[in-house]
């Protein structure tokens, strides 16, 4: 595998003038440096050939089979783009000030102290699994369009269930339990904190039929208009996915408990988000549920948490 570097020897002025820094696709890599203070080349070459030529705006393309390591701070102007093609990898341990577009079709690894900020947009072309984020992203993230497979909607690989997008009746019956990754996350949170973090009965995985029973029960006892604000129509409960769980106490004052406060502040580190935040009721259609967590995986949960958006906003769906 060919490895490319953006050298740490470049001056900040050169980077700012250069707009987007450049790396070449393997097919047109000649071993010469066509650039201007910002160098890309194979790892077998030394970093001694930084050019003094006039900087100009250029694009970055990370091609199939290439790994581009960026350990410095670079900027990408509004006229330029960074494109990680399928099979390519961008390893970021520096910072990107993004004014243009960053297309992620290959792999983007954002290390712990790395950052992508600016007014530009990171476009997830296929799957959020292509981003491994341990660092900070403040740039906007553009999700792919929803895709429906066998009656199930995915956005960038994330299973989406809400009032608009539902599940078939039989979905989940083969597993009939919360997903192992969510179970592990809860166990890890419990182990790390000493909090109870108990799973509410029937509030890990919940089948279509069980949801149907509960929804009808709430309608009978509380009326449809009230029931719909806190209970999902059958096929529209996130609990049917196996990726959701209600923790310890399904009452609003859970948010004021030590455990509830910790959960809100830290569950993203374990791959989960508070799915129905207090300030997003108009968008999610659900009352604040400080007890309801949704597993997304650590990287995506961190991106959602850091964005301050609810899942519908993050995925750009209704």
Contacts of 47 (CB under 8 A, 6+ apart): 5, 7, 8, 9, 39
CB of 206 vs Zn ion, minimal distance in Å: 8
**Binding segment for Zn ion among 68-76, 145-153, 254-262, 289-297 (CB under 5 A)?**
289-297
What is the bridge-based pairing of β-strands 60-62 and 107-110?
A: unpaired
Q: Does 275 bind Zn ion (CB under 5 A)?
A: no
| Shorter beta-carbon distance to Zn ion: residue 75 or 211 | 211
**Binding segment for Zn ion among 68-76, 105-113, 179-187, 288-296 (CB under 5 A)?**
288-296
d(CA 175, CA 57): 52
Which of 135, 127, 84, 128 lies closest to 110, judged by CA?
135
Contacts of 28 (CB under 8 A, 6+ apart): none
CB-facing half-sphere around the CA of 186: CA atoms within 13 A? 22
Determine which residue in the list 292, 294, 298, 302 makes contact with Zn ion, applying CB under 5 A: 292
Q: Does 236 bind Zn ion (CB under 5 A)?
A: no
**Binding segment for Zn ion among 68-76, 90-98, 223-231, 290-298 (CB under 5 A)?**
290-298
| Shorter beta-carbon distance to Zn ion: residue 131 or 247 | 247
Two tokens, residue 184: 């592990």
Two tokens, residue 105: 């079709």
Q: How far apart are the first and last CA of the chain?
A: 42
| Shorter beta-carbon distance to Zn ion: residue 224 or 230 | 230
Q: Does 302 bind Zn ion (CB under 5 A)?
A: no
| Shorter beta-carbon distance to Zn ion: residue 5 or 292 | 292
**Binding segment for Zn ion among 30-38, 41-49, 240-248, 266-274 (CB under 5 A)?**
240-248
Q: In 10 A of CB 256, how many CB atoms?
A: 9
| Shorter beta-carbon distance to Zn ion: residue 84 or 274 | 274
Q: Does 246 bind Zn ion (CB under 5 A)?
A: yes
Two tokens, residue 70: 């960026």
Q: Which residues bind Zn ion (CB under 5 A)?
A: 246, 292
């Amino acid at each position: 595998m060919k490895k490319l570097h953006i050298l740490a020897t470049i001056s900040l002025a050169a980077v700012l003038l250069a707009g987007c820094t450049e790396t070449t696709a393997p097919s047109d890599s000649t071993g010469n440096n066509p650039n201007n203070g910002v160098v890309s080349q194979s790892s077998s070459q030394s970093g001694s050939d930084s050019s003094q030529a006039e900087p100009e705006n250029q694009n970055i393309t990370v091609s199939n089979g290439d790994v581009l390591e960026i350990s410095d701070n670079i900027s990408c102007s509004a006229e330029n783009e960074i494109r990680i093609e399928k099979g390519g990898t961008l390893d970021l341990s520096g910072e990107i000030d993004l004014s243009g577009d960053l297309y992620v079709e290959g792999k983007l690894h954002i290390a712990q102290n790395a950052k992508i900020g600016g007014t530009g947009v990171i476009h997830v072309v296929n799957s959020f699994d292509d981003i491994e984020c341990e660092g900070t992203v403040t740039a906007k993230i553009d999700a792919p369009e929803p895709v429906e497979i066998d009656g199930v909607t995915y956005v960038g690989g994330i299973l989406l269930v809400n009032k608009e997008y539902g599940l078939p009746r039989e979905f989940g019956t083969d597993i009939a339990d919360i997903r192992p990754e969510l179970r592990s996350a809860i166990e890890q949170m419990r182990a790390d904190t000493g909090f109870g973090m108990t799973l509410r009965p029937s509030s890990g995985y919940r089948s279509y039929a069980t949801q149907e029973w509960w929804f009808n029960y709430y309608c009978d006892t509380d009326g449809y208009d009230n029931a719909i604000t806190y209970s999902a129509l059958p096929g529209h409960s996130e609990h049917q996915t196996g990726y959701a769980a209600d923790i310890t106490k399904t009452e609003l004052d859970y948010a004021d408990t030590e455990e509830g406060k910790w959960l809100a502040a830290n569950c993203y580190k374990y791959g989960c988000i508070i799915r129905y935040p207090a300030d997003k009721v108009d968008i999610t259609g659900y009352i604040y549920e400080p007890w309801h967590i949704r597993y997304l995986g650590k990287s995506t949960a961190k991106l959602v948490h850091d964005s301050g958006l609810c899942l519908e906003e993050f995925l750009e769906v209704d």
